[in-house]
Structure 1
Amino acid sequence: EILLKDSAHLQEEGAEHAKRKKYNRQEEAQALYTPEDVDPVLKLLKTMPRSSGFDISPEFHVESFDAGHILGSSSLELTIREGGKKIVVVFSGDIGRYSQAILKDPTTPPSNADVLICESTYGDREHQAGDPEEQLAQIVNRVVKRGGSIVIPAFAIGRTQTFMYYLRRLEDQQRIPRIPVYVDSPMALSATDLYIKHKEDHDLEFVREEGSDGKGDPLNVHEFHLTRTAEESKAINNVKIPCIIISASGMVSGGRVLHHLVQRLPDAKNAVILAGFQAEGTRGRALQEGAKTLNLFGQAVPVCAEIVEMGQFSAHAGKSELLRWLSGFPAPPKQSYLTHGEPAAAQALQAAIQQKAGWKSAVARYLDTVALGA
């Protein structure tokens, strides 16, 4: 619900902005869908238990396992019984990191899977080494020292909460000054409420920091400013003292962060932290690869701010973590297909699986058809 409604709202905002500025090549920019379109869809959805089985029909049974990627993320085991045969299909979903803040580690389904469909986002590389908390402290201190501000394009679910957690810890340890932190994403605010509510996904360290009464709030930085309305968001432009702005979207493909980058990118005192996967063709990837200008709202904005990549904050398992997750199966699946990765990443993971585990796997191709259990 949160994702669909926020996506619809952003599309409406983007279409309206394109109409006003007249930079869209189409005759009239339109949202793909609106918030009014979402409610009928939600009525068709049915929730399933977080950690137990669910019968879709007499032939289809689903089991859910914690994927450790974001709150509520799951790997699914689908058991199909048809014509006297039983086939078990496992969908990895997005697999998370091990020993990361807030959430529990990923759980590999203990399945004798006939078919595995596995993501391969980071199948060809590991994440940056180093202590993310220490690196974040260094960035905050040097930017504040030169009088700048930090913009963090962050996925509303997952990365925003991780940054809030580390900033609170660093403040409490007096390793960074207490400066204003603006969370400028209505969806992130709603998601943060859910992170606090759903304690069943929390790891032991986070539970300890919440306290025995469960009333502690490890995500609440000391100078925390919530901005829900467009007017509150625009008011951040008037903040001239050092501050931190956390705003969606994480790949700089849309959302309010675009307005903040228009304001902050041209100033060398400022910094932008890229904290997650940046897909090919996105503005985030352009910044990652050293772009000197960024096209925002039909204008070329100079990139003078410091661009810092912090791969440690990615919510996707790195190559060795993917292999660790795969090693949890009691036996190799009869068929394995790799998805959700750029070609080089999927092919590298395919080779690693063959080398490390001795499994045969295939890189899934668009519109391919395969027989399950063949």
Structure 2
Amino acid sequence: MTINLTFYGAAREVTGSCYLVESAGLRFLVDCGMFQGGKPAEIKNRHTPRFDPETLDFVLLSHAHIDHSGLIPRLVNLGFRGPVYCTDATADLLQVMWPDSAFILEKEAEWRNYAKHKRRGELKTEAAPLYTVAQAQAALKRLKRVDYGECIQPHERVRACFRDAGHILGAAILEVWLQDGGETRKLVFSGDIGMPGRPLMNDPTPIAEADYLLVESTYGNRLHKTLEATVEEFVDALNDTLVKRRGNVVIPSFAVGRTQEILYLLTRFIREGRIPPHTAIFVDSPMAAEATEITLKHWTELDVEGRELVNWTRHNDNGRPYIRFTESVEDSMAINKISQGAVIISASGMCDAGRVKHHLKFNLPRPECSVIISGFQAQGTLGRRLVDGARSVKIFKEWVPVRASLYTLGGLSAHADRDALLGWLGRFERPPQTAFVIHGEEDTALGFADTMRKQLGWPVEVPVAGAVYDLQGGKARLRQQ
């Protein structure tokens, strides 16, 4: 009996995680994520999936981030009728994230149709969204909730366990045992591995063994700043902007995970007297507001320091920081009337969509202001252009000069760096028969694979998109690509 593993996304790139496992009439996916980063990503999303969704038995989902989950509503709309297994917190987050993603896709399609109509006077073909809000709501009915440490049997030949990945709330490492004839093969999918010692999240769960391992490599070519150094840089950036230069701080932030960590740190800074107690903090993202509520609902899953700070804010009325979650568009627009003293946390985290673009348009030209980049910026995104030092950027079809100061806080990354990844891999008690390096830009993935070969002595593959590997015992063999 043969097991085939096909890499449909996050192969020599960071987004679009999607892996198909097939064996004697059994077919299931691990993740089905959206590609992100400009028009090339849009084209890939339109051509996904490259298989028949109706033939899938089930989906195992590592976590809620859109680059891992965002095409599942499309999968359901195209005929998939099986269950999607994920953790309880992931299921709660998706109640917010999938409809929000669909709403954005619908609005983008409306805008394109309007622009075509305005330019040509008529529409020969109307742009349609990848999926609609109604289709996202329908996909939510496919979710099946699983607890950390719980082992499920989604098929008579498959057993799967979800382990805490320490990445965002609900993120999981997936251990999958697949019966192959008279033998059992164990596949481990790392999902996104968190950085040990980060605020709020627990450290990633060590895994003892695997026959075949898929490991992410987002930051496999670099080391993050220590959390201590990052905290000092964050505090300095805040005080330099808010107190000395009397400007605003804009923080483009992923609504899930990163926003909650930033709020944790800001609250801690105010509690410790490290930034002005009257600092006005605005969270301008409806999804981030709902994700924060979900985080508080699952607060027992946070680390010890996170639980302690939640208790402090709940029982300390006098010292509680000023944090306002905006809801309406009018509330969002009103923030841009504030000329100084505001910390504005807004999505999207890569600056390519959402309300943050308005805040960047108003604050980037002002030298007294700052932009703090706190997460990974994929190639082709507005955030990546800012990090790469662009002197001006196009926002809403207008060129905006970049005069604000730019800070990058690498130590807040939700992804493990090179040494943390090697540390997690080093806990395996025996080498896998093959390790696949995924979820990293090409040079990074290839470099991390070399590091694994040299330091661990493991057999390592770096698959390209579309590659199919035969896992018929021993080292995986490339069948086609």
TM-score (norm 1): 0.93
Conserved 8 A contact 1:196-1:217? no
Q: CA deviation at 1:240?
A: 2.2
Report the more deviating stretch, 18-27 or 203-212. Answer: 18-27
- Matching residue's letter, 1:118: V
- Matching residue's letter, 1:57: H
- Matching residue's letter, 2:360: L
Q: CA deviation at 1:134?
A: 1.7
**What is the correspondence of 1:92-171 to structure 2 with a 5 Å cutoff?**
92-110=190-208, 112-129=209-226, 131-144=229-242, 145-171=244-270
Q: Which runs of 5+ in 2 are unaligned?
A: 1-94, 475-481
Distance 1:179 1:347, change over 3 A: same
Distance 1:49 1:242, change over 3 A: same
Q: CA deviation at 1:211?
A: 4.1
| CA distance in 2 between partners of 1:25 and 1:316 (Å) | 43
Residue aligning to 1:346: 445
- Matching residue's letter, 1:352: T
| CA distance in 1 between partners of 2:439 and 2:320 (Å) | 34
| CA distance in 2 between partners of 1:272 and 1:217 (Å) | 30
Report the more deviating stretch, 269-278 or 48-57. Answer: 48-57
| CA distance in 1 between partners of 2:110 and 2:254 (Å) | 23
Q: CA deviation at 1:262?
A: 0.9
Report the more deviating stretch, 223-232 or 53-62. Answer: 223-232
SS of aligned partner of 2:358: helix
Q: CA deviation at 1:242?
A: 1.6
Residue from 287, 292, 300 that aligns with 1:187? 287
| CA distance in 2 between partners of 1:285 and 1:174 (Å) | 33
Conserved 8 A contact 1:18-1:24? no
| CA distance in 1 between partners of 2:336 and 2:251 (Å) | 15
Deviations 1:87-120 (A, max 9, x none): 100000000010111110011223x311001111
Residue from 134, 140, 144 that aligns with 1:46? 144
| CA distance in 2 between partners of 1:271 and 1:223 (Å) | 20
Residue aligning to 2:302: 202
Conserved 8 A contact 1:279-1:285? yes
Q: Which runs of 5+ in 1 are unaligned?
A: none
Distance 1:234 1:24, change over 3 A: farther
| CA distance in 2 between partners of 1:139 and 1:52 (Å) | 43
Residue aligning to 2:466: 367
Deviations 1:230-279 (A, max 9, x none): 22111112122320100011111211101111111111111100001111
TM-score (norm 2): 0.73
| CA distance in 1 between partners of 2:259 and 2:417 (Å) | 20
Q: CA deviation at 1:176?
A: 0.7
Conserved 8 A contact 2:175-2:186? yes
Distance 1:255 1:217, change over 3 A: farther
Distance 1:13 1:51, change over 3 A: same
**CA RMSD across the alignment:** 2.3
